[in-house]
Homo-oligomer: A and B are copies of this chain.
Amino acid sequence: MSSLARKAAENLAALREKKPLIHNITNFVVMNYTANALLAMGASPVMAHAINEVEDMVGLAGALVLNIGTLTDDWMASMIRAGNKATEQKKPIILDPVGSGATSLRTHAAKKIIRKNRISVIRGNASEILSLRNQDSQTKGVDSIHSVDEAAQTAKLLAEELKTTLAITGPVDLITDGRRVVRVSNGHPLMGYVTGTGCTATVTIGAFLAVDEDPVSAATTALAFFGLAGEAAGQKAAAPGSFMIALLDALYTISPEALEAGCKIEENQK
């Protein structure tokens, strides 16, 4: 049993004991589902985006989740203000750059949030994460990555460039802070048929960051937990509607011991 598997169990137990408040400024599509996911796993969600309230709310929270789906300029201003407060108070921020790379609004927004705040973890799929490169970046584009090793190398360079921890999710998740590289292979194909599973992975990392100061460890253990919940749901349900409900159930039901036993985490020794 790896130390990260043991850490996953500890984080889940700590989360359920401390019930940290997770402040979300997120998109309209997933608000309900991510709030329910946070409640089910044992955290306390709050969604608040008013520019004249976000600083107060950050003050009460254990972590701040910024998610740029359904973004508009006024929400962007609230994200920046909340992020500044969290940065000032040394509270963890996790960014989900939904759709970055697809439209210039999203790409610019994600880059601005990164530039203006100290982000603990960025969680996205490969194309979203790679869209965050600077113009003169040394990292490769998605199409020029041909192997698992190249992907890891690219991710490490980008994490260094952005001075943060990246959690790149897919069939196998890759987590890196530029030095350590960890892979998580928990998960289930039906997760791709439920809206907001990526965003829910993000809030899970947010919840784990509220009880684990190490971004690589928090992101890794959160993704193992969320992926294992997907596996449990896949044993109960064979279609997306019942799967998304079983996934919420699993976030509530999985014990720290079951998580430690079910983690599929591999840390790269290189």
Instruction: Report if A69-B56 is in contact (Cβ < 8 Å); known contacts: A32-B33, A40-B240, A241-B245.
Output: no
Interface size on A, as a range, is 35 or more
Q: Which of A45-53, A81-89, A129-137, A139-147 contacts B (4 or more CB under 8 A)?
A: A45-53
CB <8 Å contact, A57 and B239: no
CB <8 Å contact, A50 and B72: yes
Contact of A249 among B39, B192, B242 (CB under 8 A): B242
* A73 contacts B by Cβ under 8 Å: yes
* A70 contacts B by Cβ under 8 Å: yes
Q: How far is the CB of A64 from chain B (nearest CB, A)?
A: 15
Report A216-270 residues with CB < 8 Å from chain B CB. Answer: 239-242, 244-250, 252-253
Instruction: Report if A52-B73 is in contact (Cβ < 8 Å); known contacts: A29-B47, A241-B249, A245-B245.
Output: yes
Residues of B contacting A242 in the complex (Cβ-Cβ under 8 angstroms): 245-246, 249
User: How far is it, in angstroms, between the C-alpha of A70 and the C-alpha of B177 when the chains are bound?
Assistant: 34
Q: How far is the CB of A204 from chain B (nearest CB, A)?
A: 15
* A106 contacts B by Cβ under 8 Å: yes
Mask: chain A, 190-210; 1 = CB below 8 Å from B; 0 = not: 001111100000000000000
CB <8 Å contact, B40 and A193: yes
CB <8 Å contact, B245 and A193: no
Q: How far is the CB of A72 from chain B (nearest CB, A)?
A: 4
User: How far is it, in angstroms, between the C-alpha of A248 and the C-alpha of B242 when the chains are bound?
Assistant: 8
CB <8 Å contact, B45 and A70: no
Residues of B contacting A40 in the complex (Cβ-Cβ under 8 angstroms): 193, 239-241
Instruction: Report if A47-B28 is in contact (Cβ < 8 Å); known contacts: A53-B106, A242-B245, A245-B241.
Output: yes
User: How far is it, in angstroms, between the C-alpha of A250 and the C-alpha of B241 when the chains are bound?
Assistant: 9
* A36 contacts B by Cβ under 8 Å: yes
* A99 contacts B by Cβ under 8 Å: yes
Contact of A35 among B29, B105, B241 (CB under 8 A): B29
* A102 contacts B by Cβ under 8 Å: yes
User: How far is it, in angstroms, between the C-alpha of A69 and the C-alpha of B244 when the chains are bound?
Assistant: 25
* A31 contacts B by Cβ under 8 Å: yes
Instruction: Report if A50-B73 is in contact (Cβ < 8 Å); known contacts: A239-B253, A247-B241, A252-B193.
Output: yes
CB <8 Å contact, A36 and B244: yes
With contacts A40-B193, A52-B73, A239-B248 known, what are 10 further pairs, Cβ within 8 A?
A39-B192, A45-B195, A48-B103, A50-B70, A53-B105, A56-B103, A56-B104, A242-B249, A244-B248, A245-B245
